[in-house]
Structure 1
Amino acid sequence: MWTSGKIAGATLKTLSSFQHCCIPTVLRRGTDGRQQRLCRLMSSSGPPWRLLFFGSDQFAVESLKLLTSSRNSSEELVKSLEVVTLSSDVPVKRFAQQNHLPVHSWPPDNVDGQFDVGVVVSFGCLLPERLINKFPFGILNVHPSLLPRWRGPAPIVHTILHGDTVTGVTIIQIRPHRFDVGPILNQELHPVPENCTADELGAALATKGAHLLINTLRTLSERMAQKREQSKTGATFAPKLNTSLSWVVWEEQTCDQIDRLYRAIRFRTPLRTTWMGQTIKLMDFVGKCHISSADQKRKPVPGSVTYLKESNTLAVCCKDGWVGFKAVLLNKRLTAADFYNGYLHQTLQNKTLYQTAECLFVSRKGGTAAHQITENSVLQQ
């Protein structure tokens, strides 16, 4: 297209006044790089967009669904839509195949000049700078938190775990080398419903994020011109969930903290403790239990277990009260009544209540390390 670097340089000078309204990305250095970027920008300065979507799980599917619908609508927002996935058996790939969308394996080949915008939603892999630079309007990311709060792979879990009452969705332009640090293009608040689980909140944020993405794509050039850097204060990190988080520390955790932990991880891994040297999984959490002082033969210690016949519940003493479970998993699933009749009945009849190993759930040694993610855990910049 260009006959010389000199002509390309002159054209760059002419277009410089339009960069903020029509060309939001920074042109790469070097004559060849400028020529390639200019060719791509001249081919598309606005919708309909040629999109390449990077995603994996069900959260990402919600955005992909709306983009697919937009491709087929009269709005002319999406001209073409193709998909990149990390593995063969993920919800995003299944949806793409069912809807006849072209699918690329990771890393994608030969994307130069083929797309205007990239979209990343719950992809789980850092995109290299050389790939980001192939998209004239950059790559957008749908992140389910109010960045810079809860950067990282598990923002929804940590929103519930830390008792946040407000969260939201943020659309950022991704940058190389680090996750979730790019400038903010769009952001919307979402109240956290009382007693909701991480999965329930995730479903709501997936829908909200999909609509916010469409809204951003409609006015992308203007959004790029008005983008703002993330605040340097208030940044927190949401590390990936692992099973160490599921161990209850009866001496340290309150009823409310155990309740939030259960709601944050219940669909991924059950709460755990140890009993008589064995791992026991705590099922069907029912929340805080009331046990009157008249029912207590001796003062309980954290981890003490008793059985509430009226509600068929195992009650366990924690830092500031009692919490209840309807079942446990010990080799096999046992109801509270089964566990009581098979293991606790004889002990609870004598006067050594709460003082024997049979009546104690014991915190795992070193388990407190999983609970040192505090409200003010600030990211290192």
Structure 2
Amino acid sequence: MWNHVNTRQLALKILGLRCHKHSRACVGLLGEKPQRSEYKHCRLCSTSAPPWRILFFGTDDFALESLKSLTATRGTNESVVASLEVVALSNNVPVKKFADQNGLPVHIWPVVDLQGRFDVGVVVSFGCLLKERLIRQFPLGILNVHPSLLPRWRGPAPVFHTVLHGDATTGVTIMQIRPCRFDVGPILRQETYSVPTHCTADQLGATLATRGAHLLMDTLKTLPERLANKVEQNQTGATSAPKISISMSWVSWEDQTCGEIDRLFRAIGSRIPLRTLWMGKTIKLLDFVGKCDISLSGTKLQFQKSHGRPPIPGSIIYLKMSNTLAVCCKDDWVGFKAVVLKKRLSAADFYNGYMHHGLTGKPSHQPEQCLFISNRTETSKGTELKETIA
């Protein structure tokens, strides 16, 4: 049989004002009609403990790890997710495809009126600034999973800059979004991680995606407590992590050491091939093998006798035994197994076709034909990739 309490509970649910079953503030004392202040308190009751109604904003594979973790907890006894919906930038991103496959409601950006439908938002690798009027529609605000130890590496490409600059330590941060600015909000949780030696940005990003998803779930379990103890970011040590640009791929043989070229390749090599100039033409450098051991008494000396000069940055030697092009840089030599000049060429093909006179069997004595040239003009430009790399 329905009574006044049940009727009021149903009415509150229809209004989107979820209440706890035994909340006195929701039903009024002894079944009395709740006052306006009690309705406000009822709204607070609905966001005092999990499970939460969550709206997830994301795009790429990094974001997908957090979405998978949120999806996996639905319906379990200790779930922190009451409901889960997704905001995507387009129909062709991994987050949108996963949501469709798993029956999650999807909204294509931008979204407008969400008032009363969600408790908290979660943003992971989304790439769009959120305005204050959107953030205010979430009683517990909007959280962000960021793959760095903020305030270091604020911006869209923290993982790439971590590898590029040789950071020994990184981590993940759970922070609260502030309107109209990236990565400046208060910190709820942080976890450090030692960067493995010689790891690539792709490898590091995959690891941090998993760790970030775990940290997000732990944060949601005790979210009110975490919000009460959030800490504002220290401006000291803040650094910027802008989008990866094509201009970064040009190797400067005179200025960059073996270690710097190695980090550049591990940071961007899977997305953008390293580049140099060969007789005025752009050449892409592939299959980087790191530092090459060129002894002074062997190949270097032979090069000097053949060309009448000691090797200078950009000088090229073909190492037949390992089928490698060794290139002189600021402090030593680095090697590549293949290049692209009109088409992909192995080191042997490039040597035979461009560095060596195949008909006479004599090496070229023209200095420019055994030299890679740094492109000073292109390295000064800031032509950015259209895609957002997080």
TM range (shorter): 0.7 to 0.9
Q: Does 1:93 pair with 2:104?
A: no
Please list the CA deviations of residues 323-356 of structure 1 after superposition, one character each: whole Å capped at 9, or x if unmatched.
Answer: 000000111100000000101113994584xx61
Partner deviation per Cα, 1:154-192 (whole Å, 9 max, x = no partner)? 000000000001100000001012100000000000110
The alignment's TM-score, normalised by the length of structure 1, stands at: 0.85
| 1:159 pairs with one of 151, 159, 162 | 162
Structure 1 residue matching 2:357: 3-state secondary structure: helix
Structure 2 unaligned runs (5+)?
1-36, 383-390
Work out the CA distance in 2 between the residues paired with 1:141 and 1:253: 35
Q: Write the letter of the residue equivalent to 1:325.
A: F
Distance verdict in 2 for CA 1:181–1:346, change over 3 Å: same
* Contact preservation (8 Å) 2:355, 2:364: no
Equivalent-residue separation in structure 2 for 1:269 and 1:76 (angstroms): 41
Bigger-Rg structure (1/2): 2
1:284 to 279, 283, 287: 287
User: Matches of 1:299 and 1:134 in 2, distance apart?
Assistant: 68
Aligned to 2:223: 220
Corresponding position: 1:150 with 2:150: no
1:116 to 97, 100, 119: 119
State the Cα distance separating 1:272 from its structure 2 match. Answer: 0.5
2:331 paired residue number? 320
Residues 69-80 of structure 1 aligned to structure 2 (within 5 Å): 69-80=72-83
Separation in 1, partners of 2:352, 2:38: 78
Retained in 2: the 8 A contact 1:37–1:136? no
Q: Percent identity?
A: 66
Equivalences, count: 336
- Structure 1 outlier segments of 4+, above 6 Å: 34-37
For residue 139 of structure 1, what is the amino acid of its counterpart?
I
How many angstroms apart in 2 are the aligned matches of 1:218 and 1:188? 16
Deviation at 1:290, TM superposition (A): 1.3
What root-mean-square deviation, in Å, do the aligned CA atoms of Structure 1 and Structure 2 show? 1.8
Name structure 1 gaps, 5 residues minimum: 1-33, 372-381
Counterpart for residue 349 of structure 2 = 338
The 5 A counterparts of 1:1-381 are 40-294=43-297, 295-296=299-300, 297=304, 298-346=309-357, 349-350=362-363, 352=365, 356-369=367-380
CA–CA separation in structure 2 for the residues paired with 1:91 and 1:235: 31
Alignment partner of 1:307: what SS? Answer: strand
| CA–CA separation in structure 1 for the residues paired with 2:362 and 2:78 | 73
Shift of 1:70: 1.1
- Is contact 1:325–1:336 with CA below 8 Å preserved after alignment? yes
The TM-score with structure 2 as length reference comes to 0.83
